[in-house]
Structure 1
Amino acid sequence: MKKDQMTPGRRALLRGAAVFGLAATAGCAATERPGTPAPAAPTASGGAAAGGPPAARAQAPSAYRLQPMAGNGPPHAARRMPRVRREPILRMDGKDRTMVLTFDDGPDPRYTPGILQTLRRHDVRAMFFVCGEMAADNRDLLREMADDGHLIGNHTWSHPLLPKMSRSAMRVEIERTCEVVEEAVGEPPAWFRAPYGAWNRNAFQLGAELGMEPLAWTVDTLDWTEPGTRTIVRRVRAGAAPGVVVLSHDAGGNRSQSVDALRTYLPELLDAGYRITVPSRHGI
């Protein structure tokens, strides 16, 4: 997650994870960069394999739970429970030439502030799918996102390959990030994105139980490969269309190209008549 370089072995693992993700659900047709190497298998305790942080392996499930709809629960108790989907949402309603920009794996104090600054300059809202281990150390950036009107989504705690995990270990990964986000901004995330785009039934069920809709993407900039600022801009231009969801990253490596690319393609999209927005916080 926090290393700026990936070894050939990690890149090979990514390719395997991408194939697994494609098989996991019919709706997800893109490959996402790994923020951390996917675990080969869950540990006997149900936690992440050796690549994950010790807390993710040994800690008991978080006390975070979506409270019952009735009673004297916390403020989020009345949230609508979304239905359990069989595939993630790939695009949004494209009326009014709307597009959605999303950024994964952060927040990272080296790159996220530059992205927030550009979005603020153009009065645009975006979605940030954060990893709990990054969010826990950068809660000020979570609050800045919320203050600017951006939506904060859940991207698990340590970016594992979810279909390789037990249900209990998966719950810990998701709940811990919900908890960090709620503690920082006052409400839990309403959107969830599986690392690598690899979903399975447990991921959809747990996300729904915690009040979150599953969101994938339509346009993958592949910015994690550091292809160059011009290439990232070209990919966004080529994929721009009403309703598309663009995937980029603000952490997990050197994301300076992603920051620079946004400065170019965002005003171009606005000049072309696109309205860059976010979905309703509580669903479609």
Structure 2
Amino acid sequence: MLLQRCSKIQFVIVIIIFSMAVHFHIPVQASMYPLQTKYPDIMLYKGKTDKKVIALTFDDGPDQRFTPQVLEVLKKHNVKATFFLLGTRVHKYPEMVKRIDREGHIIGNHTYWHPDLTKTGKQNLAWEIEKNEKELKELTNNVTDLFRAPYGAMNEDLVEKLGEMGYRGIGWSIDSEDWKSLTPEKIKQNILNYVHPGAIILMHSAGHWSQDLSGTAEALDQIIPYLKKKGYEFVTVPELWS
């Protein structure tokens, strides 16, 4: 009983530390991400490396407002990123999907309707992925095995289902919080204050019509050359994983 109680207490402590790290944007070791620790072949939140490599990731695209701005900045600095695309927008903006693919970026699956999967369950997870996968197959030559859950909301049942489907789940270790329509300076601070080797940075290339994401591309245009001067190399998620 005592051993069981201690084990439970240790688990609670880990969860509290992890929650605080996420809330305050404190970069933590990969071992502090419970799902990555338990399912290292399925989940990735932070690369296990001391090399100065970083993966830029963009959620919720594509659109015709902000996605082109992001793509232009990436092209300017010769950086490849990973885009987690939403099925409804893939259907609406097929030419933008083709452009992302044509310009050499990696495409990941971000569900079709953007639900909180921890509330809708693993059967809905399968439907969302397969629906979006069908849209992507019609537009790109490369079928993705990368998945990011809306809101980053995952649990063990969902991770195991993801693994059964042959997908790998991608989280993040730095949240730019650009979805809050922040200024370029604030977005830069949210990234540069917590940058670390093996980081996966969460940004957005589209959002709700009321969100102003113009700060994303502006911040990106300053962050990339700054971090390159600091010795960082920008890689895609598959490159970071390997």
Change (3 A) 1:29 1:251: farther
Contact 1:95 1:243 in 2 (8 A): yes
Determine the C-alpha separation between the residues in 2 that align with 1:29 and 1:132.
31
Which residue does 1:133 correspond to in 2?
88
Determine the C-alpha separation between the residues in 2 that align with 1:123 and 1:95.
23
Contact 1:194 1:203 in 2 (8 A): no
- CA drift at 1:283: 5.6
Which residue does 1:10 correspond to in 2?
none
State yes or no: 1:224 paired with 2:182. Answer: no
RMSD: 2.5
* 1:236 maps to amino acid: I
* 2:220 maps to amino acid: L
The answer for unaligned runs of 5 or more in structure 1 is 1-22, 32-83
State yes or no: 1:270 paired with 2:224. Answer: no
State yes or no: 1:152 paired with 2:107. Answer: yes
* 1:100 maps to amino acid: A
Determine the C-alpha separation between the residues in 2 that align with 1:276 and 1:282.
9
> Which digits, 9 at most, give the CA deviation of each residue in 1:233-267, with x for residues without a partner?
11111122211010011111321111211111111
Contact 2:53 2:240 in 1 (8 A): no
> Which digits, 9 at most, give the CA deviation of each residue in 1:68-103, with x for residues without a partner?
xxxxxxxxxxxxxxxx93883111243541100001
Determine the C-alpha separation between the residues in 1 that align with 2:135 and 2:19.
29
Contact 1:190 1:283 in 2 (8 A): no
Q: SS of the residue aligned with 2:237?
A: coil
Determine the C-alpha separation between the residues in 1 that align with 2:194 and 2:223.
12
Which residue does 2:10 correspond to in 1?
none
TM-score, length basis structure 1: 0.67
Q: 2:79 aligns with which of 103, 118, 124?
A: 124
- Percent identity over the alignment is 30
Contact 2:46 2:172 in 1 (8 A): yes
**Deviating 4+ runs (over 3 angstroms):** 26-31, 93-96, 281-284
Q: SS of the residue aligned with 2:57?
A: strand
Which residue does 1:12 correspond to in 2?
none
Determine the C-alpha separation between the residues in 1 that align with 2:20 and 2:203.
16
State yes or no: 1:108 paired with 2:63. Answer: yes
Total equivalences in the alignment? 209
Change (3 A) 1:243 1:281: closer
- CA drift at 1:280: 2.7
Determine the C-alpha separation between the residues in 1 that align with 2:158 and 2:240.
18
Q: 1:85 aligns with which of 15, 19, 39?
A: 39
TM-score, length basis structure 2: 0.78
The structure with the greater share of residues assigned to strand is: 2
* 1:265 maps to amino acid: I
State yes or no: 1:186 paired with 2:144. Answer: no
Which residue does 1:210 correspond to in 2?
165
Determine the C-alpha separation between the residues in 2 that align with 1:224 and 1:273.
28
Change (3 A) 1:199 1:139: same
Which residue does 1:261 correspond to in 2?
219
Q: 1:199 aligns with which of 140, 149, 154?
A: 154
Determine the C-alpha separation between the residues in 2 that align with 1:115 and 1:226.
15
Change (3 A) 1:127 1:27: farther
